[in-house]
Amino acid sequence: MAVYTFYIFDRHTECVYVKSWTPPTQAAGASPAPAISAGSDDAKLVFGTVFSLRNMARKLGGDDDAFISYRTGQYKLHFYETPANLRFVMITDTASASMRNVLHQIYINLWVEYVVKNPLAPVEHKGGAGIKNELFERGLDQFIRGMM
Amino acid sequence: MAASKASRIGEEIWKTRIDKVNAELVTLTYGTIVAQLCKDFEDDYPEVNRQLDKMGYNIGLRLIEDYLAKSNTMKRCSNFRETADMISRVGFKIFLNITPQVTNWTTDNNSFSLVFDENPFADFVELPDDGRAQNELWYSNILCGVLRGALEMVQMQVEAHFISDVLRGNDTTEMRVTLIRYIDDELPPEDD
Amino acid sequence: MSYYFAIVGTQDNPLFEYEFGTSKQGGDGQSRFTEQVRHLNQFILHSSLDIAEEVQWSHGQMYLKCIDKFFNNYISCFVTGGNVKFLLLHQPTTPTSTATSRSSTAIGANPTSPATEEAIKMFFTEVYDNWVKAIMNPFYKVNMEVRSPIFRARVAAAGRKYL
């Protein structure tokens, strides 16, 4: 399994965190990672997509319905939203199972513990400043690499 | 969600997932904050109330995330009555180990009271006898701010204030919480 | 039997005072000090502070029992961990012809008897409990006079209960 990119969007639709991984070794014959860069335009596109899909899912499936993931020929996009409108997006290879639980774990074990509970970290990240939190980044990196 | 189920969840989380801290430490820490505010603002109690509310608001913005992470209820309350039950039986339970009564609903279900039978912040406290504190200071006003901040993060704009306090000599400690509106999702800025 | 209770701060400053009479043996809880004696009481207590400060280091107890005597006034002392002193002046009623064997069993009739010492100890301990609660009030500052009516009521209750 490979994780390509990971995004966090806050309730103001701002991308507050983005990180890309390149798989350590490409197995022979495996398709190369899609060229998903961490550029800000991509983040905007990703947000626009998941936001629309989420709204559509709710419209068709009722207010409690949630958009979970979609898949293309090259990658799979996983989406998870908390009641406080924090959105987690993870892009992986097509073979991976549901990452909903993984995203939930990232939220409760890393985001809440290291970012929210750090009294010196700001609550809002205006202007796409993004979070710079070593504990969070290290924890996330370990967690993701542990899965790959 | 039924109230009894909320109680069970609150109890369960309190028992298994909460780090406990000495109650006197909490009481004294909070007491020191209030006393220091009174000193800093030269006993301007309305201003102290505002400061407490503001501090609570900033706590609430963060505390809601901890609440969501601990309670594991990744689902919105279906109505304000359910919200009230969850505040009392899960929120207050896991953070302060108290369960204030939810009562005095208005007929439109948009406003209710929390009646505190016990208040860990107010142990040992006697308000200053300067003739004003009894009428002006809401000692536990930080709680109003916490609710306002926490509910704002889950898209509910509320107004909360105390209407009575045993510290002032009232029979009960009662907080009034009123739903103003549900906040809409923020939309991404339009691309030019 | 009349009592005068005072709490003295670390700067030898008075923090609290309360006067009461015995409630045992049909006492009405009222003190029988005269107006002149009232002033004298404060002096007597104050003068006993020197002795209290000497005695407090001689044994590790908080309750120092009866430390001083001035004519018919006996002073018992209790020192808190914060070096605040509780002083109780007790003045046994001078035996009159009507009071015979009955009054001798009363608490305080014999100020240095173990029964009296124990009763005063119970009183001090209860006051100490309430004292701690009173000074935990965030609006209380060290060495400030205690004006809390609740504390006063609790001291009165302890007095009624044990003395």
CA distance B153 to B111: 19
For residue C63, the enclosing domain spans 1-94+107-160
Query: What's residue B22's pLDDT?
Result: 93
- Is the pLDDT at A23 greater than 80? The verdict is no
Ordered by start, the domain boundaries in chain B are 1-183
Contact B126 C133 (CB under 8 A): no
Tokens 């000495």 map to which residue? B22
CA distance B55 to B53: 6
Touching C: B residues 154-183, CB under 8 Å = none
Q: Which residues of B are less than 8 Å from C136 in CB distance? A: 24, 27-28, 31, 123-124
User: Mean pLDDT, chain C, as a whole number?
Assistant: 85
User: Mean pLDDT, chain A, as a whole number?
Assistant: 84
- Is the pLDDT at C30 greater than 90? The verdict is no
Q: Average the pLDDT over each of A9-13, A122-126, C3-7, C85-89 and give the range with the smallest value.
A: A122-126
Among residues B88, B107, B109, B106, which one has the least CA distance to residue B97?
Answer: B88
- Name the pTM for this structure: 0.85
Q: Which residues of C are less than 8 Å from B126 in CB distance? A: 137, 139, 148, 150
Q: What is the pLDDT of residues B3-60, one digit of tens each?
A: 888 899 999 999 988 899 999 999 999 999 999 999 999 999 999 999 999 999 999 9
Query: For C41-64, what is the mean pLDDT?
Result: 88
- Is the pLDDT at A28 greater than 90? The verdict is no
CA distance B184 to B154: 10
Q: Which of the listed CATH numbers 3.50.50.60, 3.40.190.10, 3.40.50.10490, 3.30.450.70 matches domain A3-147?
A: 3.30.450.70
Minimum CA–CA partner of C134 in chain B? B124
- What's the CATH code of the domain at C51? 3.30.450.70
CA distance C111 to C120: 10
Q: Which residues of B are less than 8 Å from C150 in CB distance? A: 126
Asked if the structure places residue C99 within a domain, the reply is: no
The CATH superfamily label for domain B1-183 reads: Trafficking protein particle complex subunit 3 (3.30.1380.20)
Helix ranges restricted to H, C15-138: 35-55, 101-104, 114-135
- Confirm if B145 and B56 have CB atoms less than 8 A apart: yes
Query: For B67-82, what is the mean pLDDT?
Result: 86
Asked if the structure places residue C102 within a domain, the reply is: no
Query: What's residue A39's pLDDT?
Result: 56
Contact A117 B66 (CB under 8 A): yes
Q: What percent of chain C has pLDDT over 70?
A: 90
- Confirm if B99 and B88 have CB atoms less than 8 A apart: yes
- Confirm if C70 and C44 have CB atoms less than 8 A apart: yes
Query: Identity (one letter) of the amino acid at C17?
Result: E
Q: Which residues of B are less than 8 Å from A104 in CB distance? A: 74
Among residues C87, C66, C67, C82, which one has the least CA distance to residue C17?
Answer: C87
Structural domains counted in chain C: 1
Asked if the structure places residue C31 within a domain, the reply is: yes
> Would strands C85-91 and C2-8 be described as parallel, antiparallel, or unpaired?
antiparallel
Chains B and C touch (3+ CB pairs under 8 A): yes
Query: What's residue C107's pLDDT?
Result: 62
The complex's ipTM?
0.83
- Is the pLDDT at C105 greater than 80? The verdict is no
Touching C: B residues 10-39, CB under 8 Å = 24, 27-28, 30-32, 34-35, 38
Shortest Cα distance, chain B CAs vs residue A14, angstroms: 8
Q: What is the pLDDT of residues A50-103, one digit of tens each?
A: 999 999 999 998 877 889 999 999 999 999 999 989 999 999 999 989 999 999
Asked if the structure places residue C39 within a domain, the reply is: yes
Q: Which residues of A are less than 8 Å from B64 in CB distance? A: 84
A33: Cβ–Cβ under 8 A, 6 or more apart, which residues? A2, A4, A22, A23, A93
Query: For C90-112, what is the mean pLDDT?
Result: 60
- HSE on the CB side for B79, CA within 13 Å? 9
Chains B and A touch (3+ CB pairs under 8 A): yes
Query: In which region does residue C71 sit, left (phi positive, over 0), alpha (psi from -120 to 50) or beta (all else)?
Result: left
Q: For chain B, which residues lie within 8 Å of any Cβ of chain A, measuring from their own Cβ?
A: 58, 61-62, 64-66, 68-70, 72-76, 153-155, 185-189, 191
Q: Which residues of C are less than 8 Å from B27 in CB distance? A: 136
Q: What is the pLDDT of residues A94-148, one digit of tens each?
A: 998 999 999 999 999 999 999 999 888 888 877 666 788 899 999 999 999 998 8
Among residues B187, B115, B153, which one has the least CA distance to residue A124?
Answer: B153
